[in-house]
Structure 1
Amino acid sequence: MTIDFKLALAQLTELLNYQVVKVSGQAITLGDILFIPVLIFIGLLLTKWLTKFISKRLTKQNTDPNAIHLIQRIVYVLSITVIIISILDFMNVPIAAFAFLSGAIAIGFGFGAQNIINNFISGWILMWERPIRIGDFLEVESTKGLVEEINTRSTRIKRVDGVHLLIPNSKLLENTVVNWTLVDPYVRCSVTVGVAYGSPAKKVAELIMQATIEQEETLAHPKPVVTFDDFGDSALIFQVTFWISSQAESGLRVAKSKVRFRLDELFAEHKIVVAFPQRDIHLDGSLTINKN
């Protein structure tokens, strides 16, 4: 059986040139429609390669990760826009032909997806104004965690317990958010301790200061401050306030724990007793002892 390749090629060409629809006087053929996925695939592949290339170059130049993230999003949006315009130009379809249709779709999309649009716009505001950045330690309502990624719809936060949390971008703009590292990573710590009555107050203050400044996390400026807070029910109350550089809440707990460990050693060396609650019991009347 002999196959006429010229005839088959002519039939294939005729099939691909088959007019499917006509838009503003421009004919859209079956070949045009079949070639669209190829253009989209090539466009997305080039976009992915371009964003990776730019990211690697900026990373080598020690560029801020937040700026890299913003540039990636801008490149991605611009690339998608170029792909869409290129496809319309390839099909000889004027963009004005879709003006009415795109307007109707936009109105319907706006009513049906207000939250999505709100989060999308909020995401761009976060990336552009940078009130929240990658690597910041946030406190959102009862949640504390480290920002790992800011997307166009939501922000991914790794909580202190290791669980990942997705927070809508609009929530980060509309609600009160505590950013521990917005301006600098410096955080104030305080440790309170009570010693028994009769302890030398000035010596206790010296030991507390010594235990604090010996820790490598303690910053020299601002200088730690030890205060004699109060005469408690069962103790003399002292408090030391000092500053550390920490990117997360765990740094505070570790720093305060080290100070307490050192205090326990110093108090033991100088025979200073850490106070504990004491109660005196007074009995009125006489006790009767039954000898039977």
Structure 2
Amino acid sequence: MLDLDHIYSALNHTLFSVSGQAVTVGGLLLIPTLAVVGFWVTKYLVRALTSKLTSRHTDPNIIHLLQRLFYVIAICIITITALEIINIPVTAFAFLSGAIAIGVGFGAQNIINNFISGWILMWEKPIRIGDFLEVENAKGVVEEINTRSTRFRRVDGVHMLIPNSKLLENTIVNWTLVDKLMRTSVRIGVAYGSPVKKVAELMRQAAEEQEGVLTDPKVQVIFEDFGDNALIFDVNFWIQSNVEGGLRMAKSNIRFRLDELFSEHQIVIAYPQRDIHIDGSLTLVRDKVK
């Protein structure tokens, strides 16, 4: 049979002391147990909170922020509880904390900068999950905002990890910051002599027929210019979309429809051409074959 007195004595055996407080074997063995149970309970509570907020259609950015806060608070509680169990006062780490702070100040400035930037992004929400961004030459959708970096999916499907500080320090185009309304245009040139009023009417018709094009603001057709080879027209319209693909598809559909309408009404889409005028007489001289 197991000798309980020997087990109890072994667990209470002092390994070392910190600030006059004895650290026992049992205390050290209790730390991983507490950590595992604490993280399991935290994960369960976070999952339950997320499910409840999702069912209420809460903003995903708020859910993400609450998840991060919950994990940070849980880690702090688990750490303090573990120190109390093994009789180590938090003040014993004052000197160590100061040394770590100095080391962080010199060697981990970028990490701390990105960490703080991540919390600013989650709190102020200048960039949110699901926003369509233009970062330098890349366009895509924000999928996740972490404490160090933001996961960004480009329109070609490639994932990018962008440091959070870069999103705050540089100029970022957020196409969906306020709403998902986007304005774009389709330009076309028709041959000189075409009925311009009819051209404008057909361009407006082609845009208004497309699904997703808004009626307010109204579709607007602009006679842009007398070009070198064509009469230039622009049709401007608004569409509700959170990705660039929606705009491109709408513009493509309008071009298809314009080609059909112009063919039906014998309106010629212009192409580059040059007229050559020859002044004077032209004499052709044929060399004699010797």
CA RMSD of aligned residues (A): 1.3
Q: Which residue type is aligned with residue 108 of structure 2?
A: A
Q: Which whole-Å deviations, capped at 9, do the CAs of 1:25-64 have from their partners, x for residues lacking one?
A: 2111111112111111111111111111100010011111
Structure 1 residue 227: Cα displacement: 1.1
User: Could you tell me how far apart the structure 2 residues matched to 1:5 and 1:188 are?
Assistant: 79
* Residue in structure 1 matched with residue 114 of structure 2 by the alignment: 119
- Of 63, 87, 95, 2:90 maps to 95
Secondary structure, counterpart of 1:144 in structure 2? strand
Aligned counterpart, 1:263: 258
Give the corresponding residue for 1:288. 285
List structure 1 runs of 4+ shifted beyond 4 angstroms: none
Give the match's secondary structure for 1:216: coil
How far apart, in 1, do the equivalents of 2:161 and 2:250 lie? 30
Letter in 2 for 1:126: L
- Give distance in 2, aligned partners of 1:196 and 1:186: 33
Which digits, 9 at most, give the CA deviation of each residue in 1:184-204, with x for residues without a partner?
111111111111111111111
Tell me the CA shift for residue 291 of structure 1: 6.9
Q: Give 1:1-292 correspondences, 5 Å limit.
A: 5-6=2-3, 9-283=4-278, 285-290=282-287, 292=289
1:230 Cα deviation after fit: 1.1
> Structure 2 CA distance, aligned partners of 1:5 and 1:168?
56
TM-score when scaled to structure 1? Answer: 0.95
Look up the equivalent residue of 2:244 and give its one-letter code: E
CA–CA distance in structure 2, aligned partners of residues 288 and 223 of structure 1:
64
Once the two structures are superposed, residues 194-251 of structure 1 have per-residue CA deviations (whole angstroms, 9 ceiling, x without a partner) of 1111111111111111111111221111111111111111111111111111101111
Instruction: Indicate the SS of the match to 2:34.
Output: helix
Quote the Cα distance in structure 2 between the aligned partners of 1:186 and 1:291: 74
Return the offset for 1:171: 0.4
Instruction: Give the distance between the partners of 1:256 and 1:217, measured in 2 at CA.
Output: 11
Paired letter, 2:44? W
SS at match of 1:189: strand
Q: Distance in 2 between matches of 1:200 and 1:289?
A: 47
1:283 positional shift: 4.6
Residue type matched to 2:2 in 1?
F
Residues 209, 5 of structure 1: CA spacing in aligned structure 2 closer, same or farther, 3 A cutoff?
Answer: closer
SS at match of 1:74: helix
How far, CA to CA, are the matches of 1:291 and 1:238 in structure 2? Answer: 55
Provide, for residues 94-153 of structure 1, a one-character-per-residue CA deviation record: whole Å limited to 9, x for no partner: 212222221212221222111111000000000000000000001111111100000000
**Identity between Structure 1 and Structure 2 (%):** 64
Which ranges in structure 1 are unaligned for 5 or more consecutive residues? none
Q: What is the TM-score of this pair, normalised by structure 2?
A: 0.95
State the one-letter code of the partner of 1:5: L
List alignment gaps of at least 5 residues for structure 2: none
